[in-house]
Amino acid sequence: MINMAPMKTFILLFVFSVLFLKQSFALDLQNGDVLLISFNCYECRVIESETNSKFSHSGVVIKNEKGELRIGQSLGFVALYPIDQFLKNRTPGTLVSVYRPKEFLKKSPAELSLLESNMITVFNSAFKGLPFDSRYLWDNYDSKGNELLYCSEFIAKFMDHFLSRPTVPFPLTYKKNEAYWLNYFKGNIPEGVLGNSPASFSHDERFTLIGTL
């Protein structure tokens, strides 16, 4: 007689996986939603350790001119990506936390539609293509005068165009993993320099957690 227990277990796991995926992507993502993610790399683990958080990267929802959902991120340079590309580097077994500006919760459908139009315009005119800042400095420019932006810095400065209260940067510290950062910054750690991190959005009173992916 055939033992059906393994087959039943497989079917149950498959059903639960499908239900989990449906639930994860049930969020109605809107422009301005900030996605906090754990990226799967060694430096990402160091960043998470340094910031006492589970986040090492961040992106922001910006619908393109066709109204298609895209995630703006600074990774090499600032650009818009389909959400599946943004999620592909996620640390296995982790969830992406989604934070929405509280003041956006009060906007009408007409106001949200106008916001979408304004956001893609500002993105294209002021942020698209700007290079990544591997030095993690809040005010840093290349020889051509282009501002260099790390991931959470890009989001903060982009969102400041649409929020009534501006971002307040804070002194960054690298003391917890000092040996790693000494090597990374070639002996010149920017200790105490103002900035932010992906984790800072999870503590920012202007934002509220709306769910996970």
Q: Is 20 contained in some domain?
A: no
Residue whose entry in the numeric block shows the structure tokens 């277990």: 9
Q: What are 138-175's pLDDT values in tens digits? A: 999 999 999 999 999 999 999 999 999 999 999 999 99
State residue 142's pLDDT score.
95
Tell me which of 129 and 5 has the higher pLDDT: 129
Q: Is 4 contained in some domain?
A: no
Q: Is 197 contained in some domain?
A: yes
- Reported as a pLDDT band with limits 50, 70 and 90, residue 27 is confident
Mean per-residue pLDDT over the chain, rounded: 90
Distance separating alpha carbons of residues 122 and 117, to the nearest angstrom: 9
Q: Is 123 contained in some domain?
A: yes
Q: Is 11 contained in some domain?
A: no
List, in sequence order, every residue forming a beta bridge with 209; answer none if it has no partner. 99
State residue 199's pLDDT score.
96
Q: Is 90 contained in some domain?
A: yes
Q: What are 57-77's pLDDT values in tens digits? A: 999 999 999 999 999 999 999
Q: Is 170 contained in some domain?
A: yes
E runs forming strands in the chain: 34-37, 57-61, 71-75, 77-81, 97-101, 170-171, 194-195, 207-212
Single pTM value for the model: 0.86
Count CB-CB contacts under 10 A for residue 213: 19
Question: Which residues lie below 8 Å from residue 105, measured CB to CB, with a gap of 6+?
Answer: 208
Give residue 49's domain range.
27-212
Give the chain's domain count: 1
Mean pLDDT of 109-136: 97
State residue 3's pLDDT score.
52
Q: Is 19 contained in some domain?
A: no
Q: What is the CATH number of the domain that holds 81?
A: 3.90.1720.10
